[in-house]
A and B are shown apart, each in its own frame.
Chain A
Amino acid sequence: DAKTTQPNSMESNEEEPVHLPCNHSTISGTDYIHWYRQLPSQGPEYVIHGLTSNVNNRMASLAIAEDRKSSTLILHRATLRDAAVYYCILRRSGATNKLIFGTGTLLAVQP
């Protein structure tokens, strides 16, 4: 499975946008980019996923580089409830269906 690289931690201020980066230089053409987040004492929560085009949903936006070797999860206005560990994961279509989690980025949101 292709590997992703994320910063260990980031800080943001409440009501400001947050850009969480992810590098995946060994991504293959059939790898989907998934983002999950995990709040303390809870299971991971699906945020967004995409293949080639940028994606938007009610939680966040996913910006995918043209060469697909990196992506950015964008939280448009951070709230205190967005403080969590954010995982960027590649999932290969058509092969195993499992998600392989790394250690993610711990996002702290300051009031």
Chain B
Amino acid sequence: DTGVSQNPRHKITKRGQNVTFRCDPISEHNRLYWYRQTLGQGPEFLTYFQNEAQLEKSRLLSDRFSAERPKGSFSTLEIQRTEQGDSAMYLCASSFGMGSGDYGYTFGSGTRLTVV
């Protein structure tokens, strides 16, 4: 296993178009997270899956954003009707969690979205 993989690495799209990003987590990790990061800021939490269940969504995740994790494996993040304010780095992370145990996250290298 080579870690968390995100595709594409870069995406340039015109305002109003839809985009979809993919994240392949570490295979034995049951938890998956999406974050967004803009220049000079720390990553902001977007959403969290445990297996295939989406257990938490940030208020940042407007109705134009949707995330899925079918079968508890890879995940997709779709942004509909993109706006220039959506330009950011989108990061995926995975971890293994059981009960209240605490474990480190492994992050992917991110997908950089530019909306023109």
Contact = CB atoms under 8 A, between A and B. Distances in A.
Interface in B1-51: 4, 31, 33, 35, 40-45, 48, 50
Contacts of A104: 42
A103 interface: yes
Given A103-B41, A103-B42, A97 B48 contact: yes
Interface string B37-67: 0001111110010100001100000000000
A43 B44 contact: no
B56 A96 contact: yes
Chain B contact-residue range equals 20 to 34
A97 B105 CA distance: 10
Contacts of B105: 36, 44, 46, 99
Contacts of A101: 35, 42-44
User: Which of B48, B97, B100, B105 has the most chain A CB within a 10 Å cutoff?
Assistant: B105
Interface string B95-116: 1010011101111111000000
A43 B42 contact: no
Nearest to A45: B107
B79 interface: no
Contacts of B101: 93
Contacts of A36: 105
Contacts of A34: 104
B60 to A, nearest CB: 12
Contact of B45 (A30, A45, A98, A103): A98
A68 interface: no
A100 interface: yes
Contacts of B102: 32, 49, 51, 91, 93
